[in-house]
Each structure stands twice: as C-alpha cells, then as structure tokens.
Amino acid sequence: MTNVSSVPETEDHADARRFAARHGLEHEHDRRDLTHHWDSYPFGLGGWRRARNVVRGTLHGRPITAFEYHFVLLSDDSKERDAFRNFLVCVVDLDHPVPALSAVLRDRAVWHEGELKGVEVPINDESFRDRYLLVGDDDDFARAVVTDEHAARCAEVEARVEWRFAGDDFLLWIESVRLGDGLSAALQVLQPLITAAENFPAQRIAAV
C-alpha cells in the first residue's frame, strides 16, 4: 500500500493509470465535482479541496468510483492544525438504498461529531470493538452486516480504513494512501459486508 508522501505527483499519475489499465477502469486526472458531492467526513472540511486520479468502472464485480482526495485544514482545535490531509476514497454503487451504518476509528471519532446517524452498536469481536465505533439506525441491519466473522476480518486490516452505508452508496476511505492495490485489497475485505447489506430483507429496509 503506497503512502502519499513517498511518491512524486507525476509518478503517481502514471501508477494510477497503470492500476486503471490493469483492472479495466477509466482514469481521469481530476474531477472538481467530487469534492463537494458529500457533506460528511472526510468531506466538508478545510480548503483547497481536490479529487485527483479518479477511476471508474467495475472492480471485483462492483461498480465503483475511486479517487485520491486532498484538503488543507487551515485552523482547528486538534494537533493537526494547518495539516494537509490525504485520503483514498472509494464509492460503491449499491443495488438499492440501505439503512445508515458507519464504522469509524475510535481515535478519529472527534472528526465525526454530529454526523453519525443512530446509536452505537456493540460488537462481540474485541479487536473490532477496540478499534472501531460502529453506529447505525437499525440494530438488526448492523448485526446482519457486521457479523463476528466480518468484524474480525475488518480488524485485521492494518490500513486506517473507515466506511459507511449512506442511501444507495457504500463509501470507504483510507487515510494517507494513494490509488493502487491497497484499494483492491480493502474492497475484497469489505465485499462480504456489502453483499450482506444488499441481501438484508427488503421489507425491513423499506420500513426504515
């Protein structure tokens, strides 16, 4: 998994194009509309927002749009004042809308204040519970999606991955990572959660 600071900009464009070609994806240099399409973290903060190395198409059987997202925090109350923030974002198109559900790193929970929909859902897997705060507005949906097996696999991922279901989108973002095989690996780990979400009884989803 390639760290943001380790690759010059011109070289990482070439890397992104190679990744896109290897997986049959379309590549665009940048797309400004993506920087203001969502309001919740990691979006809606800072200035000089930029979405670059955008790829679109099908990855591991899923329709996705992925891109590197950057912004600058001009002022805040954290130790990261004036920080240049970098994320690899992937948006997966779902078959239909599903209940809200988010998994955020506990040491990043401060960035999500006022944004998380629902209440905390306790998970049996201790490694997942220690690392992630799981919040949703349908307890049955949350437990169907994040089973003990799924939770254990998520907790094993070393990268700083967070995700959420929002309507008919599944968004995942990885901190300080560029477009590349790290995206493919993360999506493979999270595939079972996406499938479980889409398979959750339709009548229950309609009632939410």
The answer, yes or no, to whether residue 206 has pLDDT greater than 70, is: no
Most confident of 65-74, 87-96, 174-183: 87-96
Q: Can you give the residue range of the structural domain that contains 98?
A: 4-207
Query: DSSP letters along 1-45, please?
Result: --BGGGS-HHHHHHHHHHHHHHHT-EEEEE-GGGGGS--STTSS-
Q: Is 125 left (phi over 0), alpha (psi -120 to 50) or beta?
A: beta
| Other Cβ atoms closer than 10 A to 155 | 16
Total of domains in the chain:
1
pLDDT digits (tens, 9 = 90+) for 149-160: 999 999 998 899
- Percent of the chain having pLDDT more than 90? 65
pLDDT digits (tens, 9 = 90+) for 4-57: 544 556 677 899 999 999 999 999 999 988 988 888 889 878 788 899 999 999
- Percent of the chain having pLDDT more than 70? 88
